[in-house]
Amino acid sequence: MKQGFFLLLALVMLFSAGCETAQEDKFVYQEPVMPKYTPEAEQRARQVAMDYAMGMKPYMEGNGRNLLVISVRQEKCVGCWYVDLQYDLNSITGSGTDRMTLNFSLSEWKIVDGLSERMSLG
């Protein structure tokens, strides 16, 4: 009988210890906080996107010119921005001009995603 009591006590202690640990390890979701906007941060995002665009093959090989930042939007983490740009380049057909539109997503001041669209201007 005495052994059964100690076995029962040991099992109760083991299960209660596990329950306490499980409660401590609960994940609590917290909404991301928008970092404070600064003109310097926006300028850095613009520069990262422009440098990346100018290093792309179509810009370098297509005589890219008139690079213009269309819009810059801050996201909810440090160094996270959306930057839209456009530039003109030689037409893919050989005569005329094309316009390239780029949409970049930055995270921690690095390009992590992008979309491009090339359109003929004639």
Distance of CA 33 to the CA centre of its chain: 15
CB 83 within 8 A of CB 89: no
On whether the CB atoms of residues 84 and 101 are closer than 8 A, the answer is yes
Q: What is the pTM of this model?
A: 0.72
Task: Tell me if 114 sits within 8 A of 105, measured CB to CB.
Answer: yes
| Residue 73 contacts residue 81 (beta carbons within 8 Å) | yes
65-86: pLDDT as tens digits: 999 999 999 999 889 999 999 9
Which CATH code fits 39-120? 3.10.450
Does residue 48 contact residue 72 with C-beta atoms inside 8 Å? Answer: no
Segment among 9-13, 31-35, 40-44, 55-59 with least mean pLDDT: 9-13
